[in-house]
Amino acid sequence: MASRLDRIVTILETGSTRLIRDTAVSQLADWQKQHPDELFNLLSRVVPYLRHKDWETRSTAAKAIGKIVENAPFYDPNEDEDDVPPPAPKDDENGAVKKEEEQDSSFAQDELFKLDSLNLDNILNFGRELVRGGSVEYNLAALDPQSRLAHQKKTLNGRLGLLGRRFEDEEMPIVIEKDPSPSTPHDHSNGNGLSRSDSNAAGQDQSTEESGLSTRQLNVLKRKRKREAQKAAKGGFGDLSIRRTATAGSEGLADDTPMPEAESKKSDYFSLERPADVDEDTKVVSEFKGPVLPIKSELEAEDTMEGTEWPYDRLCDFLKIDIFDPTWETRHGAAMGLREVIRVHGAGAGRMRAKSRQENDKLNKAWLDDLACRLASVLMLDRFTDYS
């Protein structure tokens, strides 16, 4: 069953005509309809194609996301409640009116943008322009997904120019926590799988390794290194790698991998790599063999598993950062993905259980207001406007 699903998803990229791709989209929608519990399993396979270099592939992936979420249930934590007027505010001992919805908000940890207070002048004068592509941030790519997302959130105000001056990345350096275990030449990657201190030793190891390989194996190795170099050239924003890799049994995956380089690779959620020496008809099966690490653990927050928050919150969290990616294909794909999710489930965004409908209405408005500010900021900063 899994291999059939993987083959359908791959058609989003390899379909020779639009009709074939649209058929794959319809099949994915039917799959979600027949298997409601497979929502995040489906999204985990489709979302990576939002970063594809091909316009048609990105558009088809966004369309597939829209059709999938159309067959998912709407999230309304207050559906069992009657519409009753909010209770009158009560005064505390000092006579001040308590505003619990402001004190206890699900967005207390994140500063939300507001349209009525968004400083357009600062964005236009000091915001970092978004062009066709940007420089590779190797330190950012070396972070785990949650640390990377947290760092991008911290620097977002500076990159948007909201500090009232030009922001430099050196003002908030990226701190990479080193693994206390003994390091190997592949432990600390600088984008191509090697650290600077180990480059010379690794180069000697490579020449020793190549000396015992056949011509065919050398060609495979060259193609493999070329793919790694291309991957290192990509921006590191919005990586949705598996968050709890260490607790999900990834060590077993690394032990079963024949190539030692695989030990240093992070599980890149947006990676669309294909083995170079695998036949096209069988490549899908080989890509997804081994223990299944559900993307649910990454796209779906722990609270979502208990139904306490909007199911698409984590997915949109990454996409809202991706719309500011230096690479325009990533911005384009993230915007289309957000459009499809909000088109269908925007009414549930930001809502949480254990809150009244009036509180959730305010949370929903604040969430959508924040997204509108981000999209407006992208339009102000984007200089690569000729997407055709």
Q: Quote the CA–CA distance of 291 and 251 in Å, as a whole number.
A: 11
pLDDT greater at residue 239 or residue 221: 221
What average pLDDT does the segment 108-124 reach? 79
Radius of gyration of the chain, Cα coordinates, nearest whole angstrom: 23
Task: State pTM to two decimals.
Answer: 0.62
- Tokens coding 266: 């992070």
Instruction: Answer yes or no: are the C-beta atoms of 320 and 337 closer than 8 Å.
Output: no
Comparing 302 with 122, the larger pLDDT belongs to 122
- How large is the average pLDDT for residues 28-49? 92
pLDDT digits (tens, 9 = 90+) for 71-86: 999 999 988 876 555 5
Closest CA to 332 of 317, 313, 319, 314: 319
Average pLDDT over residues 23-27: 95
Does residue 128 register a pLDDT over 50?
yes
Alpha carbons 362 and 170: distance in angstroms, whole number: 37
Most confident of 115-124, 212-221, 280-289: 115-124
pLDDT band at 38 (very low <50, low <70, confident <90, very high): confident
Query: What mean pLDDT, rounded, does the chain reach?
Result: 71
The partner residues of 382 in beta bridges, in order of sequence, read 130
According to the model, what pLDDT value does residue 156 have?
80
Within 8 A by CB and 6+ apart from 156, the residues are 321, 324
pLDDT of amino acid 162: 82
Q: Say if residue 381's pLDDT is above 70.
A: yes
Cα–Cα distance between 21 and 35 in angstroms, integer?
A: 21
* pLDDT at position 97: 43
Least confident of 30-34, 105-109, 167-171, 309-313: 105-109
pLDDT score, position 86: 56
- What are the distances in angstroms from CA 386 to CA 166, 328, 329, 337? 26, 10, 12, 20
Note the pLDDT of residue 215. Answer: 80
The rounded distance, in Å, linking the Cα atoms of 248 and 246 is 6
- Decide if 326 contacts 134 (C-beta within 8 A): yes
Please name every residue paired with 130 in a beta bridge, in sequence order, or none if there are none: 382
Torsion angles phi and psi, residue 351, rounded to 5:
-75, 150
Instruction: Output DSSP code: residue 130.
Output: B
Res 248: pLDDT: 37
According to DSSP, residue 305 is labeled H
Can you tell me the mean pLDDT for 304-318? 81
CA 10 to chain centre: 19
Q: What is the mean pLDDT of residues 4-10?
A: 90
| Predicted confidence (pLDDT) per residue in 340-378, tens digit | 999 999 999 999 998 999 999 999 999 999 999 999 999
Q: What percent of the chain has pLDDT over 70?
A: 54
Residue with the bigger pLDDT between 164 and 72: it is: 72
Among the listed residues 234, 319, 306, the one whose alpha carbon sits nearest the alpha carbon of residue 272? 234
Whether 266 has a pLDDT exceeding 50, the answer reads no
- Local structure of residue 132 (DSSP, 8 states): S
Question: What distance in Å separates the CA atoms of residue 273 and residue 234, rounded to the nearest whole number?
Answer: 13
pLDDT mean over 195-204: 47
Q: Would the pLDDT of 166 be above 70?
A: yes
Neighbours of 290 (CB within 10 A): 13
Q: Are 32 and 39 in contact (CB under 8 A)?
A: yes
Confidence of residue 153 (pLDDT cuts 50, 70, 90): confident
Phi, psi of 275 (to 5 degrees): -60, 135
Structure-token pair, residue 108: 């207390």
Give 4's pLDDT tier (boundaries 50, 70, 90).
Answer: confident
For residue 229, what pLDDT is reported?
58
Question: What pLDDT shows up at residue 237?
Answer: 36
Torsion (CA) 123, 124, 128, 131 in degrees, nearest 10: 130
